[in-house]
Structure 1
Amino acid sequence: MRILISGAGEVGNHLAKLLSNEDHDVILMDEEESKLRPAAQHFDVMTVVGSGTSIEDLKNAQVKTCDLFIAVPPYEEESILSAMLAKKLGAKKTFARINNFEYLHEENKEYFRQLGIDELIFPEFLGALEIIASLKQVGIRQMFEFSDGQLLLYAIKLRSNAPIVGMTLSQAASLHSTNEYFTVAIVRDGKTIIPRGKDMFLHNDLAYVVTTKSSAPHLLADAGKISQEVKNVMILGGSRIGKKVAKDLESQYHIKIIEINKEKSNRLADMLENTLVINGDGRNLELLKDEGLGKTDAFIAVTGNSEVNILACQLAKKMGVIKTVAEVENMDYIDLAENIGIGTIINKKLIAASYIYRHTLKANVSYVKCLTATDADVLELIAKKDSKITRDILKNLDIPKDVNIGGIIRNKGVIIPSGNTQIIPDDKVVVFALPSGVKKIEKMFL
């Protein structure tokens, strides 16, 4: 696939890195040559100096031959215009990054499609949805739902108090008469392991586990996690993410937003009906204490500064907050945040990449998630008639070693698979794959 990315900021560079590893023909374009140098030096991409809003520059970048045009420049107006021009000049499919929620209303999305923009990307909105999902279950790092929440993927940090620590995966499975959950990956000392039955759970492992809604309590008990209800939520930063989270949750929780900018605080106070907006510096320890940080159940740090978000969450943890969420946009800080136990980590670059990545795969893919604490991906693939994945039971198929099949959605039911499970056409299959395994497992679904 030939892919042209307009905008060599953090999102554009991350997409270039991700897509160049997938044997695509990737072109990265930006007006500033200095922004293109890192990509030219480290990734297998072609770089072009030019503007996505210049017809001449788009023609020089051979936009008419592109299967996919992705506009991720700093400004929304530039993104929309460049995607429109790219479509008119012959690009087969176009994406534009936006920062206005009203554009995502279905009637407005149709308007943009008429203008030549096939998909709108709003990473802040998607980030807010991830935060909202994470608040549904305290004691886990991340949660992803499939089939309206009937099938779940949890990222769980294991501590020495967990009953399954010291057990092999097979021993943990034997605790229950039926398959209650399936461990698809373990992150240990920064390395992702695709485990098998003889592998053991250890203290400080980050385990990615697929389970069902009905079996989730058994998993959490085995992982040593206590169910606690979230009532009081404090949000540091009135960013687009913070605003969206507050708007969606203010009818369910007691929410406070702390925002340093006075004008923004006033706008938030006018817009939010049941949220208390505090104008103040969230880096001020006394302010956080005075505003009841110690009595907060969930603390969400979504300022524009990764360092502030990490430090604020550390403070919240020390004061006994049971659930912390940090927006960490600096990719170099993600491992640090994970290692010091920040909690749930949100990264807009990975969110945008997940949304776009699905459209670059040949198999029928209904969901892709690029994870923060590991370089692996979670995919929901749909089995086709006569595809290799449907020809035999799983243990008799040559499933790649860098892939695990964690769950199956069949009609309205869900299955935690074993080696004797057979996938049938139209099954939705949740797959956990290292980068080296994505193309291998994709071929089995074609």
Structure 2
Amino acid sequence: MKVIICGAGQVGWQIARHLSGERNDVTVVDNNADLVRRATDSLDVQGIAGFASYPDILKRAGAEDCDMIIAATHSDEVNMVTCQVAHSVFAVPRKIARLRSQSYLDAIYSDLYRRDHLPIDVVISPEREVAEAALQRLTAPAAFDIETFFDGEARLLGLNLDEDCNVLNTPLRQLSDLFSTLRAIVVAIRREGTLFAPEPGDQMFAQDDIYVMCHVEDVSRMMEIFGKKQAKQERVVLVGGGNVGLSVAQALEAQADRLRVKMIEKSRKCAERAADALERTIVLNGDGLDAGLLQEANIRKADAVLTVTDDDKTNMLAAVRAKSEGCPFAIALINDPTLAPLMTPLGIDAYINPRATTVSSILRHIRHGRVRAVYSVGDAEGELIEAEVLSTSPIAGQRVRDIDFPEGVLIGAVKQEGKIKRPTGGLRIDAGDVIAIFALAKDVPEVERLLQVSIDFF
């Protein structure tokens, strides 16, 4: 597949890394020559320095015969014009644009993106993706990472194992025997910085980060087995009232469970805008690092704090300050993945990486054929792919134990006849089944081959 990626920032670079690693023909375009050079030096991609919306730049990038264009520059308007030029001048068949402005995302203006207006096939909103990620974190506060699959019927949860976990040093095979009715599978373990797909004989140790695919009805039992307590979130304090904070607050207000939400925003202008847009949320104008203001927000009685300003270090410090003032659970928005190892030493319970959520959303629309969902695990170290099994797939009609998967690949769950099942060795995979597969980044092309989806691109 030939792809042009416009924008060589964090999201563009990560998408280029994914696609070039799968032997696609990738060209990166950015008006910052240094970012283009970084991409071409570190990845197997071509690079063009220039404005992505210029027809001559797109022509140099190969738009005349490309399959897809991904517009992920920092400007909404550049992304929109790029898609228009790609459609009108070069007839590029698939166009994805990242848009941040809420005005462009308002549902009443959705007709704007029809082919005879602004021909954008998929609109990605980082703010909405982050808001959704924040809501999911609140549903399972003991998890550092969470994503839903099978239309909400299953979840992927990231858990850090403590010394008091009852199932440490127990082979995974034995766990399956002990809890035979538990619809949960450990699909990945990160140990000493390395992510891997475990074998049945592997054990889990204290301080491991594990990723578990679990039926939504079994989440509470699974968390109890791994020594994690589930606490209901009723009072939430938000630090940051920009686009992300406002999106999170609006999503919290829209929930059936009426949460009590308070927001702290430093900018008076942003605070006034948030107060006008929100109905039940109390908005305080001030610094989220101010202990007195946190006390005014009644942080000690809050169940959770979400720090979602546009500055990573402010988010980290505000989360630490909130916990020192008595808040039991803190989630921080962190753009720089190199800061992630600091979360545990600082006592921050979970973090949201906007880049990872946006990359996952874009990958969902890049993966070919019958792929229904994709989640990027860690710093693009692996993927959890939900896909329908086609009749032409090599795995159709085979039992799980007989499928020749690479070492870095593991089935997390199977949906057959409307029911989520744990993938035991004797389970037969048939055409029409929907499966969730964890794969290390290097093994994703082989997974696509086994699913027979790369030839079914549309």
TM-score category of the 2 structures, normalised to the smaller one: over 0.9
Q: Which secondary structure state, in structure 2, belongs to the residue aligned with residue 174 of structure 1?
A: helix
Comparing 232-241 and 149-158, the one that deviates more: 149-158
Contact 1:295 1:321 in 2 (8 A): yes
In 2, the alpha carbon distance for the partners of 1:102 and 1:66 equals 30
Q: Displacement of 1:405 after TM fit?
A: 0.2
In 1, the alpha carbon distance for the partners of 2:422 and 2:408 equals 19
Contact 1:310 1:326 in 2 (8 A): yes
Distance 1:134 1:50, change over 3 A: same
In 2, the alpha carbon distance for the partners of 1:75 and 1:242 equals 20
Q: Which residue of 2 aligns with 1:162?
A: 165
Contact 1:190 1:335 in 2 (8 A): no
Q: Deviations over 1:39-64 (max 9, x none)?
A: 12211111111112212222222212
**Amino acid paired to 1:128:** A
Q: Which residue of 2 aligns with 1:172?
A: 175
Q: Which residue of 1 aligns with 2:303?
A: 297
Comparing 62-71 and 331-340, the one that deviates more: 331-340
Equivalent residues in 2 for 1:195-234, closer than 5 Å? 195-234=198-237
Comparing 254-263 and 192-201, the one that deviates more: 192-201
In 2, the alpha carbon distance for the partners of 1:357 and 1:326 equals 24
Q: Which secondary structure state, in structure 2, belongs to the residue aligned with residue 248 of structure 1?
A: helix
Q: Which residue of 1 aligns with 2:52?
A: 52
Percent sequence identity over aligned pairs: 28
**Amino acid paired to 1:237:** G
Q: Which secondary structure state, in structure 1, belongs to the residue aligned with residue 437 of structure 2?
A: strand
1:288 to 290, 294, 301: 294
Q: Which residue of 1 aligns with 2:318?
A: 312
Contact 1:29 1:49 in 2 (8 A): yes
Q: Deviations over 1:104-131 (max 9, x none)?
A: 4666444313222111111111111111
Does the alignment pair 1:323 with 2:329? yes
Q: Displacement of 1:432 after TM fit?
A: 0.8
Does the alignment pair 1:344 with 2:344? no
In 2, the alpha carbon distance for the partners of 1:178 and 1:105 equals 44
In 2, the alpha carbon distance for the partners of 1:261 and 1:159 equals 39
In 2, the alpha carbon distance for the partners of 1:110 and 1:387 equals 37
Unaligned runs of 5+ in 2: 453-458
Comparing 245-254 and 294-303, the one that deviates more: 245-254
**Amino acid paired to 1:50:** G
In 1, the alpha carbon distance for the partners of 2:31 and 2:442 equals 33
In 1, the alpha carbon distance for the partners of 2:151 and 2:380 equals 25
Aligned residues: 446
**Amino acid paired to 1:185:** A
In 2, the alpha carbon distance for the partners of 1:372 and 1:314 equals 22
Contact 1:4 1:70 in 2 (8 A): yes
In 1, the alpha carbon distance for the partners of 2:346 and 2:169 equals 22
Distance 1:197 1:316, change over 3 A: farther
**Amino acid paired to 1:261:** S
1:406 to 390, 395, 412: 412
Distance 1:412 1:403, change over 3 A: same
Q: Deviations over 1:294-333 (max 9, x none)?
A: 2211111111111111222233344443332211111321
Does the alignment pair 1:386 with 2:387? no
**Amino acid paired to 1:438:** V
Comparing 99-108 and 47-56, the one that deviates more: 99-108
TM-score by length of 1: 0.95
1:116 to 99, 116, 119: 119
Distance 1:424 1:8, change over 3 A: same
Contact 1:363 1:445 in 2 (8 A): no
Does the alignment pair 1:370 with 2:361? no
In 1, the alpha carbon distance for the partners of 2:281 and 2:8 equals 37
Distance 1:198 1:319, change over 3 A: farther
In 2, the alpha carbon distance for the partners of 1:261 and 1:35 equals 31
Q: Which secondary structure state, in structure 2, belongs to the residue aligned with residue 215 of structure 1?
A: helix
1:354 to 357, 360, 371: 360
Distance 1:408 1:230, change over 3 A: same
Q: Which secondary structure state, in structure 1, belongs to the residue aligned with residue 429 of structure 2?
A: coil
Q: Which residue of 1 aligns with 2:455?
A: none
Distance 1:177 1:73, change over 3 A: closer
Q: Which residue of 1 aligns with 2:129?
A: 126
Superposition RMSD on alpha carbons, in Å? 1.9
Q: Which residue of 2 aligns with 1:244?
A: 247
In 2, the alpha carbon distance for the partners of 1:403 and 1:107 equals 42
Distance 1:380 1:341, change over 3 A: farther
**Amino acid paired to 1:388:** P
Unaligned runs of 5+ in 1: none
Q: Displacement of 1:264 after TM fit?
A: 0.8
In 2, the alpha carbon distance for the partners of 1:176 and 1:56 equals 61
Contact 1:363 1:443 in 2 (8 A): no
